[in-house]
Structures are given as C-alpha cells and as structure tokens.
Amino acid sequence: MLACTGRLVLWMLSLFLSVTAASAGVFARSRPFLFLSSTSSVSVPGFSAQVPKRVSRKSFVPSAVSGKRNFLSIACAVSSPSTASDTERQMAIEKISVPAAEKLRVLREEMQREGLGGYIVQTADAHQSEYIADCDMRRAFLSGFDGSAGTAAVTLNDARQWTDGRYFLQAEQQLDPSCWKLMKAGLPETPSVEAWLKEQLHASGASAGGAVGYDPFTTSFSDLRRLEDACGTALRLVPVGSNLVDRVWNKLAKRPETPKSPVFAHSPSLAGSGVAEKLTLMREKMKKENAAALVVSALDEVAYVCNARGADIEFNPVFFGYLLVTQDSACLYVNAARVESVCAEQLKAAGVSLKPYEKVVEDVGALSDQLQDSQGGKIWMDPATTNVAVCRAAAVGAKGLAGAAGAAFSAGTCQGQAGATSPVLLTHSPVSMMKAVKNQAELDGMRRAHERDGAALVKFFSWVEGKKRDGSLWAESEISLSDKVEECRREVAGWEGKDVFVSLSFPSISSVGPNGAVIHYRPERDSCLPVTPVMYLLDSGAQYRDGTTDVTRTVHLGDPTPEERRAWTLVLKGHIALAAAAFPEGTKGPQLDAFARQFLWQNGLDYRHGTGHGVGAFLNVHEGPLGISPRLMGRPAETALVPGMIVSNEPGFYRDGGFGVRLENLVAVKELRAADKGLGMPRFLGFEDLTMCPFMLESVAEPSLLTDGEIEWLNMYHQRVKERVGGILRKAHEAGVADNSQALEWLDHHTKPIAKKKCVTGRTD
C-alpha cells in the first residue's frame, strides 16, 4: 500500500505540489490482517474467442484484514489520464491541495459551534464495512493517512492519529507532523483514544471542554459501549447527526457522491438457496430468541439474504441497504430505481418490499413504538454492525427520538438500566453464520472459480518465466506485472463468457524485493519499483460470478540467498502443516494458528498478521465470523470451524528492508472422520485446498528442510493442480481459443513429482 520508497514519494510529491500550486485553490484481507482485530449459470458450454474488453485500471483504489485508497501516492499519478478517472484525479488534487492545518481549523470551528471539546473520526460507514466508498473516507480526508485501520481524535488544540503496526511507516510518511501526531496502537506506551481524550479534556469536567462528539451513523453500538465504559463520567459523549468532517469536506473541496450502482440478481443456482428459504431460516432463529424483528445492517449479509449484488464499494459486490425482517414481512431499504427488474421480481416473489434507504431509522422507531405498546417482542440487532442511529431508534422509538430520550441516548438505554427491560436484543446476527457456512452450490462455484483462477495464474507465471528467459522481464515493473495478472484473469474467464469475471477482489499486492516486506504494500504506477532478479511477492484475487479468490505466491527471479531459501521453506512448511491438520469438531482459530507458525518459532521468527480470514462466495474477500490468529479475544476467536466454511491459509515472513514471503491458499473446512460414539470420540475435521496454483519450489525452496510427509503432500497437491488447471488450459488450446502451449509446458514442469529425501524429523533448528 505504500509508495515504493519514502524519498521518491516525497520528491515526487513536492514536484507535483510545485506544479499545481498556482491552480490549486482510507477495511477486512485489508490484506493479510493484523490479529488486532443475471444468469442461471456461468458454466457456458464450449468457448468463446471474445475476451471482455479490459476496463482501464484504477490506481486510486482501496485494498483487507486490508488498505484503502492512497491519497498521498495517487498525487504522483494524476497527470496520467490513463491511470485514474476524472473524479479520482479531482479528489487527489483536492486532497493534496487543502493543507492539513486548514482542514483542522475549519473542523475546530464546527466543534466550537457544537460546543465540543473533542471529536472522534473513525474509519467506517453506516454499515461498519471494512472496505468503504470514497464518500465515507472521512478520516483519510481529514488526516491524510489512508490506511484501512485507524481512528483520529481532535481537540481544540491537538490532533492525533491512531493505527496499528501494519501502517506505522505509511502513517509516518502521510501525516503532516506540524499538525498531527502518530499514536502507535498496541505499544505499551501508547494510550487508547479514550484515555488520551480523558487526559486532555478531564480538567474541563462536564463543561463544553469535556464534551466529545461522534457521528451516530458511522459509530457502531459496540464502539459506543466501549467508549462509554472507558470514559465513564469523565467525558460526555455527544452524537452529532450531521458529520463534522462532511461539513469541512464540502466547504474546502467536494465530497464524492454516494454510489448508486445497479443492484442485480445473484442466480439461485449459484446461491444454492432462494430468498424465501433464507428468510424462513432467519424467522426460525428469531422465534428461538423471542425477537419480533431483525435488522440486518452488514452489507454482505443484506446481499446474501436478498440474493442480490452491487458495486457500491470497489472490489466488494455489495450495495448500500438495510433489511428489516419480521415474522410476516420483510423490507429492503434501497432506492428502488437502482434494483434491476430480475432482482426486483425475485425479491417480490419472496415477499420482500422495497423502501427508500433513508427511511430505515424512521421505520425502526415506529416499529419499536408498536412493539413496546403491545409488548410484542424485541428488535434483534448485531451490536458490531448496527450503527448508533438505528439502535437509538429501536431503543427509544419514534416518540423518544423527538424528545429528551433521543438526545440523552446512551449504550445503557439499549441494554436496559436500573432493572428496566430493554426493547432491543443485542447479539450476533444469525445471518453471519448462515453466510459463512457454504452450501453445496456455493462450494462447487468456489471450486470452479479457483480452477479458473489457477489457469490464469499459470498463464501469468509462465509469461513471467518466458520474459525472464529472453531478458525482457527487466523492462517490466510492479504495476505492469499487476496489470498482466488481471489481464490473464479476464482472458481465462472470457473463454466461458463475457460476464464471468466481475472485478478484482482487492487491489493486487505486486511487490519486488524490499517492498514485499511491507505487508499492505500496493504499487503506484508512477512510483513503483522495476522488476529485478530478487524476491517477488504477488497477493491477488478476483470476483467471479460463481466465487471469490485470494491467492499469494512468492518466487525468486534471480539467485536466492541462503536466508531467503530458509525463510521461504519455513513458511511453506507451516502452510503445509495447517493444510494437512486434522482437528476435532469445536476447534477454534487460535487453536490452529500455531500449526502455521511452529517452524518459524523454532527458528526465533514470526509474522505480524493473522494466519487466516474467512472468504465469501462472490462476496467480500474478508468475511466473518471465523478467522485463524493467535488473538484470544473477539468473534473469530469464539467461532468454531465447521464444514462448509472457507478460510485462508497464509503464513509469511518479512525482513524489513529486505524481502517478504507469503504463501496463501483458500481452503474449505470438511469432515475427515465421523464421530465414534463407541470410543467417545468427536467428529474430526480438516481442509480441502481450493486454490490451484503450483508453489514453484524450484526458484527458492531449500529441499533439505522438507520431510517425506511434506514432499508427499506437495506431490499430491501438484497432481490435483495439473489435472484441474491443465484441463481448462488444454480445452481452450485444442478449441483454438488461445495458444496455451507455453502455459501447459510450464504447468507440466512445475507439477512434476519431487523425490523424497527420507527425512525423519520435522525440526529445522
């Protein structure tokens, strides 16, 4: 995600500013994440020689678990019309041309107008999405730091930006030190946002100086509860309905409009179940919880239930909407004009009505009044994904919103205070697990998507190897390789039909040498490194109509050092250990994480991100509630893996300033052995590899570190890759659709069985 070198970025930025000064008047796979946190089928018989026209690549795009649009480095590219749209160039120019001090000055004027001593700006939209649209990148606009994770806090005389270890370097490069101070979250000496605000404002007590504002639409109930618990009575938290950063943005520049992409149907043949079937299951779960209504706020959950997709957030096939479900009705809050006819008919047949997006707070409040008058049950909401504005409407009702109850709202109002019964049920959304456990149709679609994706990757890496042989590879760059792998994906998908490929699933991380050590690196067209004979890491993926992919391979383009060989092989050993793991039913992510880290640990090494994140089926590349990481707190740590879930397996190693290694496959949880009641043994589970791409050991592996068991696993995996991916390439080649002779030769070479070494131990120290 960062520019290739800090000095180069700063030099280019200063040049850009000098040229434009006269006219010049931000999440998850985030990529690997820190452990802080319509057609009936796309399988078209035969092939078509027509390849979909490639959409010009956007270099102004968000990243996973994650990174958002890099406003700083995009400034280097605004002079090139082929790299960004007019809107993107305008946003880049506006962002760079408005000094940080000016934005803070105007914000503080607005704070004083509202009687606030402090203001909190989170990285969020109204649905607590990991990836957010341009119009919701408020924190990035205000502070200049656009990493996917972070919180800004501003007082009348200070401004601080918190972020985690993935983004320390990026934040140091992007923040204006004369206005902002970086707060390195997770370090012992760094106070929390709440503690810092208390220290800054506590002396003001309950006066205006002790009032801290927040946006109730971009703050989740969970965040409000955490803020209130941390602040106690030292600070007064004030919901400000009109976002203050929006006011600043519109005064000094032009805030982007809210996206209004078409909402289209996701075929039931790919979804595996219809909208009515999903609503029935949700209503059964509501009955068990004595919930009269359920508000679904997370965008991927709304899309999943409605068998609908959109493009409001780049790389995520979702649309802005809420879903309100009762025992006898269901309403999707989305502007009806956006919903395509097939999708609208599908929703109508399932009994889902449409209402304007803006009506949800009003309707939730009216429903709350009705339920409280009749003692008819509670309104179920997920506290992690439902914003305070909607929670407040459910807790106090429409009548309360107009009076003192709405103004005095606190987290306790929803939870029930002083023995009062709360009208709101605050617990995990039932849709989260429904979506995470894929049915047979979704699993089949994900397998097809990964086989197709594997064919594209084989074409890409065979192209790289061919360019290396003839010496032309050294004329390429990180961004040109990123462009090429996208081109390969579009081409291979085009053999089946023009609508199979939808988009990338996140901005490709194409990194040469030292940039591979920047976990969330993303190349920029005018500042990236040229390809040289060093380590090359490619973390990329795609959204296809039948599935979502996310894969990382690391290869060496020259002669690896002993350290590089050893590090790469230790990462591979951890990857294999997790892929081959067998575990009893009920096992959770933290219990599996050490499988992937053990060989690095034996050598005093580790990596600073989680090992695995959930992945959606033609939905978000980062999907809850599951995950694999050492973190013992939070929803992923509480969620047991069950058959049908899809999770990534992506251990890594990063030598700052040197190189990075990451090897990632997506895997599906499957049953290995049924429960043995006679022995009192539970059912045992394991993983099925979905990703189909050779590891290319020849370029960098240290074979002496591999055991016979690991070699056997590699041979079996590569045989599957050869059969499944080779079939796609061969069929297109024989049909005359594409010349895949080079790709097939490369695939045959890199999937040849490896001779066993008769190793007897797995230790490497």
pLDDT at 372: 84
* Residue 624 to residue 150: CA distance in whole angstroms: 20
Lowest mean per-residue pLDDT among 401-410, 658-667, 693-702: 401-410
Is the pLDDT score of 690 beyond 60?
Answer: yes
The backbone torsions φ and ψ at residue 624, rounded to the nearest 5 degrees and listed phi first, read -90, 180
pLDDT at 96: 52
Residue 153 CA: distances (Å) to CA of 252, 301, 424: 20, 30, 30
- What token pair was written down for 98? 């408005």
Neighbouring CB atoms inside 10 A of 565's CB total 19
384-414 pLDDT, tens digit each: 999 999 999 999 888 877 765 445 577 776 7
Burial 291-313 (b: 16+ CB within 10 A, else e): bbbbbbbbbbbbbbbbbbbbbbb
Lowest mean per-residue pLDDT among 411-420, 484-493, 605-614, 714-723: 411-420
Are 725 and 458 in contact by the 8 Å Cβ rule? The answer is yes
Which has the closest alpha carbon to 146: 158, 134, 159, 137?
137
159-199 pLDDT, tens digit each: 999 998 878 888 998 999 999 999 999 899 999 999 999 98
Going across the sheet that includes 352-355, the strands are: 352-355, 330-333, 322-326, 291-296, 378-381, 424-426
* DSSP one-letter string for 664-727: BEEEEEEEEE--BTTTTBPPEEEEEE-------GGGT--GGG--HHHHHHHHHHHHHHHHHHHH
215-247 pLDDT, tens digit each: 999 999 999 999 999 888 788 899 998 999 999
Is the pLDDT score of 67 beyond 60?
Answer: no
Which has the closest alpha carbon to 655: 735, 755, 571?
571
Q: Does residue 232 or residue 335 have the better pLDDT?
A: 335
User: What value does the mean pLDDT take over residues 632-645?
Assistant: 91
What domains does the chain contain, in order, with CATH numbers?
Answer: 100-252 (3.40.350.10), 273-435 (3.40.350.10)
Q: Is 731 in a helix, a strand, or coil? A: helix
* DSSP one-letter string for 323-381: EEEESS-EEEES-GGGB-HHHHHHHHHTTEEEE-GGGHHHHHHHHHHHHHHHT--EEEE
With a CB cutoff of 8 Å and minimum separation 6, the contacts of 530 are 474, 475, 476, 477, 478, 512
With a CB cutoff of 8 Å and minimum separation 6, the contacts of 276 are 349, 350, 351
- What token pair was written down for 284? 């059964």
Q: What is the pTM of this model?
A: 0.86
**Unique residue bearing structure tokens 């081409």:** 491
With a CB cutoff of 8 Å and minimum separation 6, the contacts of 558 are 532, 533, 534
User: What value does the mean pLDDT take over residues 200-217?
Assistant: 76
pLDDT at 263: 98
533-570 pLDDT, tens digit each: 999 999 999 999 999 999 999 999 999 999 999 999 99
- Degrees to nearest 5, angle at CA 313 with 553 and 216: 125
User: What value does the mean pLDDT take over residues 265-283?
Assistant: 98
* Residue 219 to residue 711: CA distance in whole angstroms: 49
